[in-house]
Structure 1
Amino acid sequence: MKTPPERPKEPDGYDRRFLDFCRSFAGAAGIFAIVVGSITLLGWFFGIGIFLRTLPGMIVMKANAALAFVLLGISLRLVADDTLRTPLREVAGGCAALAGLLGLLTLFEHATGADLGIDQVLAVEAPGAVKTASPGRMAPNAALDFTLLGGSLLLLAFRRGHRIVSWMAAASMTVAFLALMGYAYASETFIGFGSLTHIAVQTALALLALSAGTLLCTRELGLMEPLSRRDAGSRMACRLLPAVILVPFLLALIRYELHRRNPDSDEFGVAVMVIICMAVLAAVVWRNAAALNRADTERSRNALGLARTTEILEKIFSTTHMKMAYLDPEFRFIRVNQAYADACGYPPEFFPGKNHFDLYPHPENEAIFSEVIGTGKPYTVFAKPFEFPDHPERGVTYWDWSLQVVRGESGQAQGLLFCLLDVTEQRRAELELRASEERFRTAVENSPVGLSIVQDGRIVFRNPEQRRLFGGLPEGFEFEKYPDIHPEDAEPFRELLRSIRAGERLSRLTSLRFYPYGKASEGADMRWTHAYVTPIGYSGRAAALVTMVDVTNTKEMEQAAHRQERLAILGQTAAGVAHEIRNPLQGVLINLSVMETLIEEAVVLDPEARDTIRRSLSAARSGSDKIENVIRRVMDFVRPKLVRFEAVEINTVVREAVELVAVSLRNRGIRLETALSEGLPPCNADTQLIEQLLLNLITNAAQATEQRDGVRRIEVATELDGDAIVIRVADSGPGVAEHHRKRIFDPFFTTRELGTGLGLSISRRIVKDHSGSIHVGASRFGGAEFTVRLPSLPQASGRDLVAPGGATPG
């Protein structure tokens, strides 16, 4: 079923309070019918007699009638809501159709004498019920009302035929009211037809309520239209109708009761009825006359107020700086104010009768004007450009303007109020300011200097360079709570904060070192900056501009040059020392070999002395081997190997390195585990050097775990992070102290008594030769974790890809 059209909005000129009353009464009538029908059905289902009749000996409401009341009550309650959506409207239409069909079938039974078997489906009524021709069958006048109301609510559910509905509801209400009059005046003629079933009093009352609610649902679209208006006639009708309907009914009821009690007092009863009727009607007329007088007084007061308002508006129209023009629906000028005329360069009397778009052709604006006249919706636009055809020297001008339809009493558009404000100067200044801001923004966004604004202690702005320096700070971060300041620069940072809080300029150079947010524990990517503070205003309040110049590369180059110089000196010294030691050491080793041979050949030594000498010689050879190992490592450090690049599967190298040390670590009670990510891309690397790097890290981890009790554990893991392959070696040892992490890769720095301090230095050089990085942090096992990042090769790279030149010196 197609969606019914939306109910039109209530037009102007109608009494909103009366229309709201109609909605409320209709909804209440629907609920009343549902309650009456439900109570009667309960009486039939559970045999509760008091639910079936008002008094003993009275006519009972039939079960079918009770069901019809429930269905019509539901339908009326839903229809009374104008905002009801289509599915519920279909429910309302279905309920109304079922109730109307039930009434129509019952009328057919009464008219033809047939029994369709519908009378006692819900409940069985014994023969001989009061005023009942056929058990369970409702009265014909009740069936007629149900038929009329079912059809009426079916039409209302789909918003059709409001005028027909109002006549049908009025007819139904008349039938119900006649039945109530029959009960009031004891006239069976109005209660039923001959020997057919008569209507129960509660049925008549509920039908009257349903009929009235259905009639009020039509409101301004049916017979109720004359009562719905806001004018004096509608108000008078609303006051008179209750008296016209109820007063004669009540007076006739009083006369009937007097006549029933004293048949000889008929003349007296007529006189009393006439006197009361005159008094009531006179009171109603007096009340309405007073109401009309008040309305006239209010109208006169409103007219005076309107005249004053008109005078004020006229003064505003004539003196305001805003340009105003009043046009007819064809866009011909009716009147313009002086400001409009001055802006156009003509006197005000020049415009009346001329078409706006003949003077100022503009297809787009003409389409807007036509749409406003057609839809009645106001239109406003800001800073709309316009060029005067008769004043080209003005160039492009900018205007805020609005259109408002002026309607007459009939609701038709009578004219168009056109208001304009010249904002050309403001718009040009705004465009220039915007261009200036854009230039400034571009300069700030592309500045190599980090800029941030701190207001009320929080960072409210950072340019890209400052975001790079600080990393991923949360929005509105409190600057003084930045946790990753270098420990040695805590005091310069506090001085910086004092200048910000005091709103003072910190013009002298302040050197500040810090790590990106959250990375201080990793000890990597330290930033070294020169910082300044300048008080500024931001968003109308005091703030501080913090300027930071990144000098990290300069400092690193200085440190690298200094370190390279020291390493060169250290290397020369170490090479000389190694050379001086190695020559005598070779003689010692030769002599040890000779002595071992002589001991074995000697026959005069007793076994105990021979064993003692052997142990001494073995200890001497072990010490000589250690010295040789130190010399070899020093020479490796001084004269690095050539790096031979090739496409390498990192997981393969890791597995080979783990196999080399697995047995030894297992014998020492150390558990070695791997967590290798599959599908890693190849890496351009030297297999032997990467293996040496891994063996160094695993050996250091093993030595560290032996310093702790409990489970000794080492884990080697690999993963892909972006375009970098990450290798992690984590242990359960004591970890690396924070103050040692910056020096742990320096040559000859060690925390072990027998360490050489060269393993990690060589490891870092290997990583640097592979364009990677290495840093130390804390592991999840409580010990240290060394993280190596190596650049990966594209997936399409071949296995034979090498560095330019085939090999590079380390």
Structure 2
Amino acid sequence: SLSLERVAHLGLDYARKLTGSTLGFVGFVDSRTGNLVAPVYSGDVWAGGESKTPVFSRERGLIGWILREGKPLIVNDVASDPRFPGVPEGHEAIERLIALPIFSQDELIGIIALANAERDYTNEDRRVLERISSLLSIAVLRLKAEDALASSEKRFRSLVESAHFGTLILRERKVSYMSSALKELFGHVPSPFSFKEIQGIHPEDVERLERVLHRVEEVGIEALDTEFRYFPPSSDGGKRRMKWIYCRLKRVKYEDGTALLLNFIDITKAKEAEMLINDRLMSLGRITAGIAHEIKNPLSGINIYLKALKRVLEEGEDPEKGLYIIEQIRAASERIDSVIRQTMDFSRPTPPRFRPLNLNEAVRGALNLVGGTVKKGGVELETDLAPHLPKCYGDPQLLSQVVMNLVTNAAEAMRNHDGTKKILIRTEAGEETVVLKVSDSGPGIPPENRNRIFEPFFTTKSDTTGLGLSICSRIILDHGGTITVGESEMGGAEFTIEIPLDRRRSRR
């Protein structure tokens, strides 16, 4: 799992190496005091070789100034700066300093700082720290999402303990009492009672519910909890929307004997919220796994080019050669910056922004995020993008999310596949649409499941939420398009997406 301290250590080590700094730290704001506590540091921070966590006052020194102003700082002659006093007692002397604030959703949460390089710090050093700061922001966002999920689970437990959707009391399987809310939900409830006789319970859940009822009724277990999927009758006779129902069965004293108390709660909204968060975290986890792969190559290139540049300068070679090397370093730096920007765009989604776009743009954006991870899994990734594709109206971030979900789903479906592992992504122009096809050579999707895979929570795997394809379907429908699935020429699945060219048919 993503560790904030691990990301901070890695980022700090990279920054020190790239800037030649002898020491540095990453600190976070103490919400009680407003001071900066720096649990992550590298180099010889303490003059006497001590090992303790530095704490910087908000009211004093250069670090205190950043905490108050929220601005980056480069000081190459610290001793002459009037803001300097304020370093913790016993801290190594600071001669040069570069430090940047770390923000999360516009809130200053910490500072990353480097000190005592053998040369003056420059704006290029500042850009290095900005990229590390961006990674730390992503890590903090993920941890906040995990905290939100834990809080959601806590609120749900409180709801279960204090509120009942419907109540049923059984004595020897005969209905002694049923609340009006439960009558409205289930309609007719059979007596003698059996979950098998209630219309609308998901077939896969019926036998489990009967086993739970038997264990409380016959085996003598005091109480059991379970959940099941239920399709209440539609008022207009249309398609029925699935609900998640929580059920608690408990043996109780009732009148002059023992009875079974069944409490039912509609937890659909809580379940959807939980699964949406989990789906988002899973997506972020896949992206995070790919960040190291995407950044490693350009970072290695930068180190190689820096060595080459040093040789050019020392040996007095042609200045044009040096300029060429600098240009290559800039290109590698922009590649890292591009990966970080796209990752942050995904982790901090904004409301849909429809604009004219080339669908190939969304495809490339998705592959920049997950392509490296997919290829590491032994999957061949091939694209056939139409060179003169007409523009459609859409949100590039949302369409990239669709492509990313389809590609990662295909890769996961081929994880244990013995044959060729290949994914092909094609774009082409239709009559009044642009067409995107994502095909794979995996096991494919059985015909009986093809009409259900876009339903919320439908999944044939135990480790997924079943929301990924449902979200894809919703996004495409919001664009006025269609998404269908069939069999690919390679024998696996093929998803076909069509987006209208006419703006009036989009965003409906």
TM-score range, shorter chain: 0.3 to 0.5
> Between Structure 1 and Structure 2, which shows a larger proportion of strand residues?
2
Give the TM-score of the pair, scaled to structure 1.
Answer: 0.21
More relative contact order, 1 or 2 (CA 8 Å, 6+ apart):
2
